[in-house]
Homo-oligomer: A and B are copies of this chain.
Amino acid sequence: MKRIAENTINRLIVYKKELERLRREDVKNVFSHKLAILSGFPSHLVRRDLMNVGYFGSPAHGYDVVELEKCISDFLCTPESVRVILIGVGNLGRAILDYCQQQNPKISIIAAFDSDKNKVNKIYHGIYTFHIDSIKNFIKENDIKVVIITVPASEAQKIASEIVDSGVRGIVNFTPVRLQLNEDIYIENLDMMLGLEKVVYFVEGG
């Protein structure tokens, strides 16, 4: 399979989400132009991307909403169910526990971890919180590949190094720390401040 650019993946995920919505609204077909408006990318890019996933529409009816959604899902290899854990049940961590459950039934946070005795063995938004010391075993026993990190910045590097040893392959990192890891781990840095600074740049200067 041809290696697909990260930007393309981003866009595909957006298309998928919009298709999902169209399906719920019982829309049957959609043209590249419409998908372009919904997603915010130009229509020829939409078509180019769909070429990559190997879905073909009809010049008369555009794309079949259900089929295309399925096709993109398959392409993205979204398995029926992915189990993820979250580390750091603070302000942000709890908000995410709540949010994720509403959003994507295929990706489920199956456990949370914290070092704070007051939080351990509690349930937040339906998810049980274990003590951080048990995390390595948990990752191995449950074959966890993806982890969300929402601990304080000062703890992030240490935690990240440890979980990578246990076999984690991907990290969603909400801390402002750039994690340094030896192995080839996929890291998605979601630093909100960076997003805010970018907007300020484009508004004030660029």
A193 within 8 A of B: yes
Known: A17-B176, A205-B76. A99 touches B92 (CB 8 A): yes
Q: Which residues of B contact A51 (CB under 8 A)?
A: none
- Please state if B206 and A195 are interface contacts (CB–CB under 8 Å): no
Within 8 A of B (CB), among A3-23: 3-4, 6, 9-10, 13-14, 17-18
With A37-B180, A178-B40, A206-B3 in contact, do A190 and B195 touch (Cβ < 8 Å)? yes
Query: A174-204 CB contact bits vs B (8 Å, 1 = yes)?
Result: 0010101000001110101111111111111
A204 partner, pick from B14, B17, B95, B145, beta carbons under 8 A: B145
Indicate whether A142 reaches chain B with its CB closer than 8 angstroms. no
Chain B residues with Cβ below 8 Å from A99 are 91-92, 192-193
A193-B103 contact in complex given A94-B91, A198-B9, A204-B79, C-beta closer than 8 Å = yes
List of B residues within 8 angstroms of A170 by Cβ? 199-200, 202-203
A52 CB to nearest chain B CB (Å):
12
User: CA of A192 to CA of B146 in the docked complex: distance in angstroms?
Assistant: 14
Give the interface of A toward B (CB within 8 A): 3-4, 6, 9-10, 13-14, 17-18, 37-40, 76-79, 82, 84, 91-92, 94-96, 98-100, 103-104, 107, 145-146, 148, 169-172, 176, 178, 180, 186-188, 190, 192-206
6 closest Cβ pairs, A-B complex: A77-B205, A170-B203, A91-B95, A170-B199, A186-B202, A169-B203
